[in-house]
Amino acid sequence: MGIVKIDERLHEEARRASAVMCRSINSQAEFWMKIGMLAEASPTLSFNEIVARERTAHAA
């Protein structure tokens, strides 16, 4: 595991989102990174399609 330095405002947003989504701050940041990577790799997919693919990948 490595350390990634991010802007304090982004860290605060991750902290708030992690509380709402019942994730750790690290898990929230990891989720956002995965979704972002999938969005860049497949720009024609909607957010819901990306999340569905991510969930399917974890279920397999």
Say if 26 falls within a structural domain.
Answer: yes
Claim: this prediction has a pTM higher than 0.85 = no
What are the backbone angles phi and psi of residue 13, rounded to the nearest 5°?
A: -65, -40
For the cut 80, the answer to whether the pLDDT of residue 37 exceeds it is yes
Say if 3 falls within a structural domain.
Answer: no
The CA–CA distances, whole Å, from 49 to 6, 7, 30 equal: 27, 29, 18
Say if 20 falls within a structural domain.
Answer: yes
Q: Which residues of 33-59 are buried (b: 16+ CB within 10 A; e: fewer)?
A: eeeeebeeeeeeeeeeebeeeeeeeee
Say if 49 falls within a structural domain.
Answer: yes
By residue range, what is the domain housing residue 17? 8-59
Say if 1 falls within a structural domain.
Answer: no
Calculate the average pLDDT of the chain.
92
Say if 2 falls within a structural domain.
Answer: no
Say if 38 falls within a structural domain.
Answer: yes
For the cut 90, the answer to whether the pLDDT of residue 53 exceeds it is no
- Domains: count for the chain: 1
